[in-house]
Structure 1
Amino acid sequence: MIDEIDAALRTIIVDEALAGAGVELSFDAPTKEWASRRSGPTICAYLYDIREDVRRRETGFVNEYRDGRTVARHRPPRYFRLSYLVAAWTQRPEDEHGLLSRLLQQMINYQSIPIERLGPTLRDLGLPVTMTVALPPSEDRSFADVWSALGGELKPSVDVVICAPLPVTRTQVVGPPVRTPVLRTGDIREPARAEVVRAPRADRRREDSA
């Protein structure tokens, strides 16, 4: 799932927002050592946090149908928030600001990633993959803390948060449907003498009426 989100972000950033700019996109951690090796304009989209969106967790089961009957049940998908720190590296701060401006201009048009940008796993689920851009961080973290943990200098950046469903692969197979109800009577201690009474079937009633 994460690799499909990375691919979708690459398409939105490189092919749409910065088309023709000759800018490289990297998902590496923007440490000082990494920054010192940059030889050209680069956008870094660093995945710095992965958390489940517990507000969207559902209970119960989802039925899978085939030929009009239930064949299996599975848990609903779980939703995870992927937080990316997006920053630009160039020779001049003005150029970095220009790249970030183009990114913002394009990415604020999206409230979710278009289905044609998604990989097969997310596309087959048919569920929205939402995206928020440059919202304030949560109370338990700040972007300055992220930069400090990376050992780098604080730079202007855009926080991109994508909430994507992750399917639960554990499935419970359902047995075949009951087509003929059976009622057993008698002493349960003597199963051999128990009488079996079958409910009349629809086709048997039709034969009798004929």
Structure 2
Amino acid sequence: MRDTCREPWNVTLGHGSVGCHGCTKYPFRRLFRSHIDPSRNKFHTHNGRASPRGFLGAAIVATTSPKEMLMLADVDRAVAALLESERLGGQAAKVAFDAPKKEWAAARTAPTLNLFLADIREDLTRRTTTLIEEVGENGIVESRRQPFRFYNLTYALTAWASRPEDDHQLLGLALRALVQYDYIPEQFCAGELTALLEQGHNLHLRVGGKIFSDRFATELWSAMGTDYHPFLSVVVSLPVAAGVPEPAGPPQTVPPQVVVSSTDDPIRDVVRGRDPEAPEAGIRTRRRDQN
């Protein structure tokens, strides 16, 4: 059997076992595709699960589900719709999401705003531990789940036209459109984003901040192989549902009760909590021990 890998596309990422001959021969391939291990004729699905001999020994790459991928595409479309609301010379600006490489720059035929997704990472300052209760139609808590986590989607926004002054004008229009809002307006949101808005979430928007380091711009254009272009950082905070719902226990039917007593005193204190059937304040009583 040839020492190559058949590579059907898959929606998941990660894995890459060093025990696979194809992965050994093509180490970077395992980061992007699922494939057949020719030495064992087994399908290596990139499902984000690390094996003892996985990439770097114990690399775990989070699975990207089709729904999560759809949410990212919805964010792309929402930001593009916001940018296209500004007009240059009476025409809506064209928005592209391609990597701004030399080949792409040479092939474009109209003034274009390039919205390059440069990074996705969790905003740990917004992580909480309070569980979310999911209530049924009868008002009883049926399940609990982890709170939403928030991921910052960082775009590098550049303008591409025939002359530098046109670049600056187009980028200025984009800046004017973006700074009008602290979050992406509802009229630009569709798909999965609509459900997030209905749950009370907003897609917070930050424009013009520093991207990671002062060297990022130099490294970006060096990697793309194109001439330097000024860019705006556009950061969108995306809420993502975390964990899976855990079924709640049966509803409480009797009030909780705490008994405080002493070994040498027949009197004991009984403190009852709220009655689920009649939720008034707790009741404190004193009664003589019958024993």
Instruction: Classify the TM-score, shorter chain.
Output: 0.7 to 0.9
Q: Is residue 46 from structure 1 mapped to residue 120 from structure 2 by the alignment?
A: no
Q: 2:212 maps to which residue?
A: 138
Confirm or deny: 8 A CA contact 1:129 1:164 kept in the other structure.
yes
Q: 2:29 maps to which residue?
A: none
Shift of 1:42: 1.1
Q: 1:21 to 1:4 in 2, by over 3 A?
A: same
Between Structure 1 and Structure 2, which shows a larger proportion of helix residues? 1
Cα distance between partner residues in 2 of 1:42 and 1:32: 14
> Deviation per CA, 1:53-86, whole angstroms, max 9, x where unpaired?
0111111411111222111101001100001111
Confirm or deny: 8 A CA contact 1:22 1:41 kept in the other structure.
no
> Deviation per CA, 1:130-175, whole angstroms, max 9, x where unpaired?
1111112333852222222222221011111111111125111123
Cα distance between partner residues in 1 of 2:179 and 2:219: 25
Shift of 1:22: 4.3
Q: Is residue 114 from structure 1 mapped to residue 185 from structure 2 by the alignment?
A: yes
Unaligned runs of 5+ in 1: 182-201, 203-210
Unaligned runs of 5+ in 2: 1-70, 256-276, 278-291
Q: 1:36 maps to which residue?
A: 106
Which of 68, 80, 86 aligns to 2:157? It is: 86
Cα distance between partner residues in 1 of 2:213 and 2:114: 24
Aligned with 2:91: secondary structure?
A: coil
Q: Which amino acid aligns with 1:18?
A: R
Deviation larger for 145-154 or 98-107: 145-154
Aligned with 2:128: secondary structure?
A: coil
Q: 2:91 maps to which residue?
A: 21
Aligned with 2:129: secondary structure?
A: coil
Which of 245, 249, 254 aligns to 1:175? It is: 249
Q: 1:69 maps to which residue?
A: 140
Cα distance between partner residues in 2 of 1:59 and 1:146: 36
User: What is the TM-score of this pair, normalised by structure 1?
Assistant: 0.79
Q: Bigger relative contact order, structure 1 or 2, given CA contacts below 8 A and separation 6+?
A: 1
Confirm or deny: 8 A CA contact 1:79 1:165 kept in the other structure.
yes
- Structure 1: which 4+ aligned runs deviate by more than 6 Å? none
Q: 1:167 to 1:124 in 2, by over 3 A?
A: farther
Which of 222, 226, 232 aligns to 1:158? It is: 232
Shift of 1:124: 3.2
Aligned with 1:156: secondary structure?
A: coil
Shift of 1:13: 0.6
Aligned with 2:98: secondary structure?
A: coil
Confirm or deny: 8 A CA contact 1:17 1:107 kept in the other structure.
no
Aligned-pair identity (%): 34
Shift of 1:180: 6.4
Shift of 1:23: 2.9
Confirm or deny: 8 A CA contact 2:83 2:93 kept in the other structure.
no
Q: 1:179 to 1:140 in 2, by over 3 A?
A: farther
Aligned with 1:72: secondary structure?
A: strand
Q: 1:22 to 1:140 in 2, by over 3 A?
A: closer
Q: 2:202 maps to which residue?
A: 128
Confirm or deny: 8 A CA contact 1:133 1:160 kept in the other structure.
yes
